[in-house]
Structure 1
Amino acid sequence: MNEAPDVRLTAWIRGRVQGVGFRWYTRATALEIGGLSGFATNLTDGRVQVVAEGPKESCELLLTWLTGPDTPGRVDGVTEIWDVPRGAYPTFEIR
């Protein structure tokens, strides 16, 4: 049985997501899920951008967390796109 190829998830999270530990918890959740690399960064318009690369199932788990009730602050919405991974990230970091 072949393993599914890795994917790249880019998500933009809007709401009250800056200054509430959102990036820290996103990184902790990504590391807990395992197999993910990428980053979480604040954008100047108040959103947080998350880029995660790894197994599709792991990226889907992270997206479920991002859109769920357990995130810090308040998430009003998430826009996501899926792509092929670029392999540019050695770990999951906060930027």
Structure 2
Amino acid sequence: MASTSDRLGNAVKALEQALASLENAVDARSERLQHREELENEVRLVHEDRAGLARELDQAQFRANRLEEVNREVSRRLVNAMETIRSVLAHEK
């Protein structure tokens, strides 16, 4: 039959093991939470980058459209100028 001190020693060892297991579980949980926070921050940064890139793309598209409009206007004016020059040259002959 185990003595009281043996039972108490076994109970203390079991309690220490349980506390160590609990501490390990808390540490693991804490690490997972830290990792999750890091991932959430990375996702937030990616979303911010994406939003910035979308704004830049919109601005670039606007500039490209504007340049296309200006190009068409310049082309139209050049055609008109060439026709005027041809007309003047044709009347001089």
Task: Give TM-score scaled by structure 1 length.
Answer: 0.20
Task: Give TM-score scaled by structure 2 length.
Answer: 0.21
More helix by share: 2
More strand by share: 1
Greater Rg over alpha carbons, structure: 2
